[in-house]
Amino acid sequence: MRILVTGAAGFIGYHLSERLLARGDTVVGFDIVNDYYDPKLKEARLARLARHAAFTFLREDLADRAAMEAAFSKGPFEAVVNLAAQAGVRYSLVNPRAYVDANLSGFLNVLEGMRAQGSGHLVFASTSSVYGSNTRLPFRETDNTDHPVSLYAATKKANEAMAHSYAHLFGVKATGLRFFTVYGPWGRPDMALFRFTKGILAGEAIPVYNRGQMDRDFTYVDDIVEGIVRAVDRPAAPDPTYDALAPSAGSSLAPWRIFNIGNNQRVPLMAYIEALEEALGRKAILDLLPMQPGDVSATEADTGALDAAVGFKPATPVKVGIARFVEWYREYYGVPK
């Protein structure tokens, strides 16, 4: 297929592009390559993608309407995977306008591109953060998501609603994927595993929020990519069982659907750190801190709907995924064992 991947220089976008290219797809990558985190890491990912003859890259801003229109002029695309976004819960407290520009205006530009194209399947990244203050675990797509606790989560919930409106009005086939704490090689430096690894190797204290009393559904990046690819290959369709008198929050009479992609289990943050200590062969110095605004104490995905729809259930053990990350980190940064 010919596929547009926005956020191709990002963590998940890079891995997805590699996977699509390996199976023979043509990929047009789109990314502004901003400095939210080290652009050198993004450039290194792009350099690896550039080795593929079937990869082309557009260095543009998702919020730039003309640039997005120009990208779609290179289509038509059988699929568009929108992974470009301003990520991070804590950063939304500091620079909220970045989230409006990228996650709302930028996403609208993608939807308009799909509308103008008149065909294809839009697969877009949502997040487990949309569950907000919900404390009933595991999270299910049918759960209420009306109480986000960060602007980041609010913009992603808005994306789901925006996509539904375009599915209903214009027949844009749209699948939203709620990612649960993604980690792995080539990861983001602002995320916990990267920061913990860097701190432990430097002999520095690592920040542990809520004094370590947190659980997360840590999901290995290859599992995320497998879920995305399977969703891409199965375009959204109206749900024949949809009941307008008892509407489901995860499907619709329109060609629109929502899936969780998580590892189906809660892992205590302290157990995650212990697995990292084991992989590094070093003990961590812990800086136990209070809960941060916009954070939640626990996440866990119910992925039954994903499994039923595409036949896949993430299952990479945390110890295996962390060991692979550490191996990559040592090689990329030249850190001896």
Catalytic residues: 152
171 Rama sector, left if φ>0, alpha if ψ -120 to 50, beta otherwise = left
- What are the tokens at 278? 């084991």
H or E, element range at 215: strand 215-216
H or E, element range at 173: strand 173-179
H or E, element range at 205: strand 205-208
**DSSP symbol at 298:** B
**DSSP symbol at 26:** E
Residue 38: count of CB within 10 angstroms of its CB: 12
Residues in the chain: 337
| Sign of torsion over alpha carbons 281, 287, 288, 292 | negative
CA distances from 192 to 65, 158, 168, 188, 196 (A): 34, 26, 38, 9, 6
Question: What is the four-CA torsion angle of 268, 159, 75, 234, rounded to 10 degrees?
Answer: 60
Helix (H, G, I), strand (E, B) or coil at 113: helix
Residue owning tokens 């929108």: 82
